[in-house]
Amino acid sequence: MILTRIMTEIGFETYEAENGQEALECLKKVGVVDVALVDWNMPVMNGLDFIKAIRADNRFNDTRILMVTSESDFGNVTEALAAGADEYAMKPFDRSMIIDKLQLVGLGA
């Protein structure tokens, strides 16, 4: 909910999903989005598997992926980036951190 509020406040239209599988289904309905903010720890399909799935679909080549999670192990960061995440933000985060990360991936906010 915090991310939805931040993203809405800075001008993004948002869609929410409980897990990676639901997020993939949502993308099939709405189409290409500018950015996906993903948590590593989600039920049904975790964030890493979601990243791999979206990166396997060429329609989403231009979608930026920001992993936003409490997983702070350097190996997890490396694995997420190798799978196709564009940036990685560790919780706790605030509005300015999210804006900074979005700017780093070319989405000025």
In a domain, 109, yes or no: no
Give the pTM.
0.90
pLDDT band of 73, cuts 50, 70, 90 = confident
Domain harbouring 63, CATH code: 3.40.50.2300
Domain around 99: 2-103
In a domain, 49, yes or no: yes
Report the DSSP beta bridge partners of residue 67: 38, 88
SS (H, E, C) 29-75: HHCCCCEEEECCCCCCCCHHHHHHHHHCCHHHCCCEEEEEECCCCHH
Give how many domains the chain has, as a whole number: 1
pLDDT recorded at residue 76:
86
In a domain, 108, yes or no: no
* 20, 46 Cβ separation under 8 angstroms: yes
In a domain, 26, yes or no: yes
Per-residue pLDDT tens over the stretch 76-101: 889 999 999 999 998 888 999 999 99
